[in-house]
Amino acid sequence: MSENKASSSSASEAGRIAARGLGGRRIRVLAHSGLGSRHLLQDERHLYWSDDGDGTVTRLPKDGGVPLVLATGQKGIRALTLSGGWFYWLTGDKVARMPEQGGDVEVIADEVEWPRALTVHEGTVFWTTFGDGLATGKVKMTRPGDDRVVTVAELQKQPGSIVVDALQIYWANHGVKWPSYFTDGSVVRAPRDSASAPVVLATEERLASSIAVEGDWIYWLTARGYDELEHERGALRKRHKDGGEIVELASWAWNEAGVLALDATHVYWLAPIHPALFRVRKDGGETEQLLIREPGEDGVFPDSLVVDERCVYWTARDSQRAGGAVFKMAK
C-alpha cells in the first residue's frame, strides 16, 4: 500500500478551537481531518492515528509538519495499536495488521462479531467483542500465522478496554442496561495461558471503561448513569494487582467515563462528550483541570488521549466543530 501525503490546514481555517487550556496553557492544532472517530498512538518522535470515517492511518511528527498517510481503505478502523514494528487494528468484523512503515494489510482473524478493543503483547493479539447489549461479550486471543483463536472469557457484560502484562489479561465490562442500568459493570483479569477461570477484581463498577495497567496497579474509569440522582458520581479508581482495597483518586457528576492516560507521576483523563481534561497524582491528592470547554461549544467529542514527558495530545471526532482533529498542549 503506497504512502500518500495528507493535506494540512491551519486552525483558522477550521474556526475557533472548542476548548481552551487553563493555567496559561496554549492548545496547538497539529492536524485537521473529517468527522470520523480517531484512535491516537505515540512513539518517541511521532503521533499516529486512525480515522474510522475515511479509513486511514496517519503519521505526524510531534512537533508538527505534513501528515503522512500510511494506510487507506480501512473503513471502520478503530483500536489502533503499534507493537513490534506492526500496526494492529479492528474493522467491522476483522483483526488486521500492517508493517509500521506501510505495506500490505494482513487479516489475522475474520468473521469477528462486534469487536471493540484490542491490545498486543509480545506478538500475541488480544481483543474484546462487545456483544449484542446483553451478557454475550467475549475476550479472545491469537498469534499472527496461527489459525487458532482462543476464547479467554465469554458471557461478559459488554467488555470494552483491554490491557495485558506478562502474566495476566485485564479488561473492563461496561455492564448491561437491562435490568441493572449498567450497575453491574466490572473489572476482570484472566491468566494469559487460560489455565484458570477469570477473576473479578471489582464489581458494581457502572460503565467501567479505559483500563490501564502500570507496575503493580490497575487504573480504570466509571461514570454516573443518566438515571442517577445528583449525589451519584463517576470515578477514577485504582487497585493493586494482587488485590486489596479499591482506591478512589477522583470523582465527578458526569454521565460519561472518558479515556485515561498515564505518565510517570499522574493519571490524566479526558471527558468524551464535552472537552475537559484533568489529572491527579497516582498516589492521590487534589484534582487539577488542564482544559475546559469554551462556552457554547456543545456537541464536540474528544475520543483518544496520550501523554509524554512534555505534552498532552488528544483527538476530537468532530473536526470542524472542534477546530481541529489532533491537538497538543504542554502539561
Closest to 78 measured CA to CA, from 114, 109, 43, 30? 114
Quote the number of domains for the chain.
Answer: 1
pLDDT at 125: 97
pLDDT at 243: 83
Region of 257 (left: φ > 0; alpha: ψ -120 to 50; beta: rest) is alpha
| Percentage of the chain lying above the pLDDT 70 cut | 93
* CATH classification at residue 224: 2.120.10.30
Tell me how far apart the alpha carbons of residues 99 and 287 are, in angstroms, rounded to a whole number.
40
Residue 299 lies in a domain: no
The SS3 assignment for 319 reads helix
Tell me how far apart the alpha carbons of residues 100 and 121 are, in angstroms, rounded to a whole number.
16
What band does 256 get if pLDDT is binned at 50, 70 and 90? confident
Residue 295 lies in a domain: no
* pTM, rounded to two decimals: 0.91
Residue 324 lies in a domain: no
Q: Higher confidence at residue 49 or residue 132? A: 49
CA angle at 90 for the pair 187 and 40, rounded to the nearest 5°: 75
Look at residue 13 and tell me whether its pLDDT is greater than 60. no
The SS3 assignment for 186 reads strand
Residue 236, all three cell numbers: 477514577
What is the domain extent for residue 67?
4-8+42-280
Residue 300, all three cell numbers: 464536540
pLDDT at 292: 92
